[in-house]
Amino acid sequence: MIVDDTSRELPFWKTRTLEDMTQSQWESLCDGCARCCLNKLEDWDTGEIVWTDVACTLLDGTSCRCKDYDNRATIVPDCIQLTPGEVRTLTWLPPTCAYRLVREGKDLYWWHPLVSGDPETVHQAGISVRGRTIPEDGMALEDYENHVVFWPGEMPEDRKG
């Protein structure tokens, strides 16, 4: 029997805009890389944003998930909660971010749990921040500049394509 691939239903991220997604679809777009949970520095003169390997106080460095997701904005007042509007205006979303990819009309990468069916593939592919961060707790803001890194804003060399 021949299966007609054109009759298969396309995944929601290929058929819906960010604004048209249900809450569960929206939440499932997060691949769990936690790159957005890294502190960033902005140059006041140029507006350039650089990444650090300093993680938010609520980031669990092993699971790459927020320790108190529901209350994150209260505990960390400068936490940016991603919305379709935010995704359309933020310039610092990593190139691997599913929200950015959908915004740009691109497909998700093979390691994304919605594609692979396994939440561990984002870690196995080396996309997540697992094992690559230090906590912000107790660190002076002026010390953040000693922790500038470039990998969160880059596509890993063997993952480009």
Encode pLDDT of 79-137 as tens digits.
999 999 999 999 899 999 999 999 999 999 999 999 999 999 999 999 999 999 999 99
136 domain residue, yes or no: yes
CB environment 84-100: b (16+ within 10 A), e (fewer): beebeebebbbbbbbbb
Give the pLDDT band (50/70/90) at residue 24: very high
102 domain residue, yes or no: yes
45 domain residue, yes or no: yes
pLDDT of residue 4: 52
What domain count does the chain have?
A: 1
37 domain residue, yes or no: yes
